[in-house]
Every structure is written in structure tokens, then in C-alpha cells.
Amino acid sequence: MSPNSASPQTLNNNSTKRKTPMFQEIERKFLVAGDYKSEAYESTDIKQGYLCGGANLTVRARVRGDKGYITIKGKRSVNGLSRFEWEKEITRDEAEALLSLAGGGLVEKTRHLVHNTDGHHTWEVDEFHGANEGLVVAEIELSSEDEPFDRPAWLGQEVSEDPRYYNSHLLIHPYNTWK
């Protein structure tokens, strides 16, 4: 989300072209169990680190392609589907400087964007690298927790409520240590 395009009550989420409550992120997260790459229309490398974090708040710096972002995320709802999110685009150099302060290391991944067959949503499929190599997770942002959406054939088990799949958790307990 970008507050730069905010109206008093809603923001336009550019990845899904849907209206959601201001500063409210609602997403569902799934493992990927099939080929999605042939459907991807864009792929971008991402590296991100956490400047501070805990159960109720995380502050993240991210480099995505040639752009930088700083993001503040609040505590997740009980079911893990929604939370406060504020994100602002910054320069890549500013983001790189902030990443140098991320003491816990970086999460590195390639994000593939895939149009959903319903014509209303975009899947963000993250293929992780480094200590999280082998993990592929798909996320979809929604305008409400119960909003219906099509599930592509390559979609696997839902992990929205499993904190092991949160990016901030993957820094502390990387995927390759789970086995």
C-alpha cells in the first residue's frame, strides 16, 4: 500500500486494483504445489530486512528491483489474516542504507506476479533463496477476510495462520532448518 494515493477512508492496492480499508492489509497465504511460472507476467528480485520487530510491530526495509520501501506492520488478527500496514516508497539508496542496519540478516526472494483467473486479484508468488531455498509461497490480498477468489491448480495448503511462514520468522528460523 502507498499512502501517497490515499483518500480519507480507502487506499487503492496497486497489486490487486481493489479498494481496502486505509492501512489494513488482508491476505491469505498458501504453499505452492505446482507450476505457476508459465503464468507469471512479471518477476522481480527482493531483499528485505527488519529494523525492529516483535509480536505487535515490525519495521521492514525492502529493495524491490530499482525501488526501495519502508513498511510498518502491526499485530496480526487472531486468525492471522489481517493487520495494520503502512508502506512508503523511498529511494533504493535509502533502502540499502536501512538494510545495513538490519542486524538479523536479510530475506532474499524472487516475486512472481500471476493474474488470478477471476480477473480481480493478483497472486504474489515468492520463491525464496539462501537459507530459505526450496520454499515457495503464494499470497493474495483481499478487500475482506471472507472475499471469495479462484484457487489455481498449482495452489497448495493454506498457511495463513502458521507464523513459521511469516518473512520475519524465516530470518530467525530459516526453512532449511525445519527438516
What whole-number distance in Å separates Cα of residue 87 and Cα of residue 102? 17
Instruction: Indicate the domain borders of the chain.
Output: 3-177
Range in 80-89, 105-114, 136-145, 150-159 with the lowest mean pLDDT: 80-89
pLDDT of residue 179: 77
Q: Which residues contact 38 (CB under 8 A, 6 or more apart)?
A: none
**pLDDT value, residue 21:** 52
Q: Please say whether the structural domain 3-177 has been given the CATH code 2.40.320.10.
A: yes
pLDDT tens track for 46-98:
999 999 877 788 899 999 999 999 999 888 777 767 888 899 999 999 999 99
Q: Which of 50, 69, 165, 175 is catalytic?
A: 50
The confidence score (pLDDT) of residue 22 equals: 66
Active site residue 50: yes
